[in-house]
C-alpha cells in the first residue's frame, strides 16, 4: 500500500496515499481496532458534521477576520461532496473511540482540509486553524448529534410512520360494519367491530407521532458556540446564532443555540426524551405486530380472523407453511429500540463536570433506532398491513360462540344469573339461549328481544 507522511502535534505518521484523512484519523484508526467494518460512526453524523463545518466557515467569514472567502469557499465545496456521499470511504473510524467524539471531529476536519486543498490546487486549509476555527470537538460533536437526530426523525422516521398510519386508516375504513369477538387477558370479551380494533392501532401511532414531534424543538437546540467547556473561548460573539441561522437555511430545520452551553456539553436529556418517544413508538409497534400475528394465526388451528400476505415460504421442512415474518421483524426491531433506550439513558447519565464522554454510543444507538423504525414501518405497511383481509365468516362464527355475549342480558336477569347461564352453556356445550331458557331466566321470545350482539359495540 502506498502511503504519504502526515503530521500532527504528536509527530509524523504514515497515511494511505489514496485517502483524504490525516494524522489524527490514522492514529484513532490504529488505536481503536474495535468493531472495525461493522460499527463505524454513522453516516448521518458525518453528513451533519459537513453541514456544521460549512456553516461554521460561513459564520467565521462574517465574524472572524482570519477566515477568507477563498478558504470558506473551499471548505463549503468539500463539505458539499461529503453531504452528497462522494467521500464516504474517507470516514473509517469506529464508534468505540474517545467518548467526546474528538477523533471523528478531526476526521472531518482533515478530510475537508485535504479535499479543500485539492480543490484549491494549493495548500490553503489547516484542519485545526481553518476548518475547526471557533470550534471544539466538545461543542461540535453534540451539535452534529442533535442535527443528525432531528434530520433522521423528520426526514425518515416520521414519513414512514405516516405511511403506516395511512395504511391502517384505509384498513379501518374498509372494515366498517364487521363485528367480532373482543378479547381481554387473551380471553373472550364483549364484541367489538374490527374497524374499532384497527382504530386503536391507528390512534396509538398518531399519539406516538405527537410525542415524537413534541420532542423535536429541544433536539434542535445546539451546543455550538460553547467550545471547550461552555464558556465560548475563541469563538466570536454571535457565532452560535449565526451558525444556527445558516444551518436552518441549509437544512430546512429550525435550529437555535442552547441557552446554556454548560448544560449542552454535558447533558443529553433532550436526546433521552426524544428517544423515549421512539421507544413509545416501538412499544406500540410491538403490540400491533403481535395482534396481527395472533389474529392471523392458523390458518386452521389458530384464530384465523384475518389473512396477511404470503411473502415467502415459512419452513424448510413443512411444505405450504407461511409465517407472519413481517410481524416478527417489527417485534425484533422494537426490542432493539428498547435496548438502545436503556443504553442511551445510561450513557446520558455519565456527564462528568463539563463534558459527557459517552456521546458516540448515544449517536450510534439513537440513529440506529430512528433508521430501524423507519425501514421496518415502511416494510410492514407495504408487505403486511396493506394486504390484511378480514375473514368475516370466522369472525362471525367466533362472535356467536362467545359466552361473553351473555353480558347483553346481564342487566335484565342480573350478574349472578348471567354467570350461571354462561357456565351452563360452557359445561353442556349449548348456546346461551338454550342455557338461559332452560334455567328459566327468560323465555325464548324475551331472550331474542334482548340479545343483539351487533348493538353491543
CA distance 21 to 90: 6
CATH of domain 402-456: 1.10.40.30
- Report, as residue numbers or ranges, the catalytic residues: 185, 315
Mind spelling out the 3-state secondary structure of 76-111? HHHHHHHHCCCCHHHCCCECCCCCCCHHHHHHHHHH
Name the CATH architecture for the domain at 139-393: Up-down Bundle (1.20)
CA distance 176 to 422: 29
Delimit the CATH 1.10.275.10 region(s) of the chain. 16-133
Cell of 206: 398518531
- Domain span(s) for CATH 1.20.200.10 in the chain: 139-393
Exposure of 147 by Cβ count < 10 A (0-12 exposed, 13-18 middle, 19+ buried)? buried
d(CA 267, CA 163): 34
Query: H/E element holding 188?
Result: strand 187-193
Q: Which pTM value belongs to this model? A: 0.96
Third-level CATH fold of 16-133: Fumarase C; Chain B, domain 1 (1.10.275)
pLDDT by position in tens, the chain (length 457) = 899 999 999 999 999 999 999 999 999 999 999 999 899 999 999 999 999 999 999 999 999 999 999 999 999 999 999 999 999 999 999 999 999 999 999 999 999 999 999 999 999 999 999 999 999 999 999 999 999 999 999 999 999 999 999 999 999 999 999 999 999 999 999 999 999 999 999 999 999 999 999 999 999 999 999 999 999 999 999 999 999 999 999 999 999 999 999 999 999 999 999 999 999 999 999 999 999 999 999 999 999 999 999 999 989 999 999 999 999 999 999 999 999 999 999 999 999 999 999 999 999 999 999 999 999 999 999 999 999 999 999 999 999 999 999 999 999 999 999 999 999 999 999 999 999 999 999 999 999 999 998 899 9
* Cell numbers that stand for 83 in this block: 453531504
Q: Are 368 and 336 in contact (CB under 8 A)?
A: yes
Rounded Cα–Cα distance for residues 55 and 44 (Å): 17
- DSSP-assigned states of every residue in 274-324: HHHHHHHHHHHHHHHHHHHHHHT--SSSS--SEE----S---SSSTT----
Please say whether the beta carbons of 51 and 147 come within 8 A. yes
Closest CA to 153 of 254, 259, 275: 275
Which residues make up the CATH 1.10.40.30 domain(s) of the chain? 402-456
Amino acid at each position: 500500500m502506498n502511503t504519504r507522511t502526515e503530521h500532527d502535534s504528536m509527530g509524523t505518521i504514515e497515511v494511505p496515499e489514496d485517502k483524504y484523512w490525516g494524522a489524527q484519523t490514522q492514529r484513532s484508526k490504529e488505536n481503536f481496532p474495535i468493531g472495525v467494518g461493522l460499527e463505524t460512526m454513522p453516516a448521518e453524523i458525518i453528513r451533519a458534521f459537513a453541514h456544521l463545518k460549512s456553516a461554521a466557515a460561513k459564520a467565521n467569514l462574517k465574524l472572524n477576520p482570519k477566515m477568507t472567502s477563498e478558504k470558506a469557499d473551499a471548505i463549503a465545496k468539500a463539505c458539499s461532496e461529503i453531504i452528497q456521499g462522494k467521500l464516504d470511504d474517507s470516514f473509517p473510524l469506529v464508534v468505540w473511540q474517545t467518548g467526546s467524539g474528538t477523533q471523528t471531529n478531526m476526521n472531518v476536519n482533515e478530510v475537508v482540509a485535504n479535499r479543500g486543498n485539492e480543490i484549491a490546487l494549493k495548500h490553503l486549509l489547516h484542519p485545526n486553524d481553518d476548518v475547526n476555527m471557533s470550534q471544539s470537538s466538545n461543542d461540535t460533536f453534540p451539535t452534529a448529534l442533535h442535527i443528525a437526530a432531528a434530520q433522521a426523525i423528520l426526514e425518515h422516521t416520521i414519513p414512514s410512520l405516516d405511511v403506516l398510519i395511512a395504511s391502517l386508516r384505509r384498513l379501518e375504513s374498509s372494515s366498517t360494519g364487521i363485528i367480532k369477538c373482543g378479547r381481554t387477558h387473551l380471553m373472550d370479551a364483549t364484541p367489538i367491530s374490527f374497524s374499532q380494533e384497527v382504530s386503536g392501532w391507528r390512534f396509538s401511532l398518531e399519539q406516538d407521532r405527537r410525542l415524537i414531534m413534541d420532542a423535536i424543538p429541544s433536539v434542535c437546540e445546539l451546543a455550538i458556540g460553547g467550545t471547550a467547556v461552555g464558556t465560548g473561548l475563541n469563538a466570536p460573539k454571535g457565532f452560535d446564532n449565526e451558525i444556527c441561522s445558516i444551518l436552518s437555511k441549509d437544512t430546512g430545520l429550525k435550529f437555535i443555540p442552547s441557552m446554556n452551553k454548560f448544560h449542552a456539553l454535558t447533558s443529553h436529556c433532550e436526546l433521552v426524551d426524544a428517544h423515549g418517544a421512539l421507544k413509545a413508538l416501538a412499544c406500540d409497534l410491538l403490540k400491533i405486530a403481535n395482534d396481527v400475528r395472533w389474529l392471523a394465526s392458523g390458518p386452521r388451528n389458530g384464530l384465523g380472523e384475518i389473512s396477511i400476505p404470503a411473502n415467502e415460504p415459512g419452513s424448510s421442512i413443512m411444505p405450504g407453511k407461511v409465517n407472519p415474518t413481517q410481524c416478527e421483524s417489527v417485534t425484533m426491531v422494537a426490542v432493539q429500540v428498547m435496548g438502545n433506550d436503556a443504553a442511551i439513558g445510561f450513557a446520558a447519565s455519565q456527564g462528568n463536570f463539563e463534558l459527557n464522554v459517552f456521546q458516540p454510543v448515544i449517536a450510534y444507538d439513537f440513529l440506529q433506532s430512528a433508521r430501524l423504525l423507519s425501514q421496518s414501518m415502511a416494510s410492514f405497511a407495504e408487505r403486511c398491513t396493506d394486504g390484511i383481509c378480514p375473514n368475516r365468516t370466522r369472525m362471525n362464527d367466533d362472535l356467536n360462540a362467545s359466552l361473553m355475549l351473555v353480558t347483553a342480558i346481564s342487566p335484565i336477569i342480573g350478574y349472578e344469573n348471567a354467570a350461571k347461564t354462561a357456565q351452563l352453556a360452557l359445561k353442556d356445550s349449548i348456546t346461551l339461549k338454550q342455557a338461559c331458557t332452560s334455567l328459566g331466566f327468560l323465555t325464548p321470545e324475551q331472550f331474542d328481544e334482548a340479545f343483539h350482539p351487533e348493538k353491543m359495540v
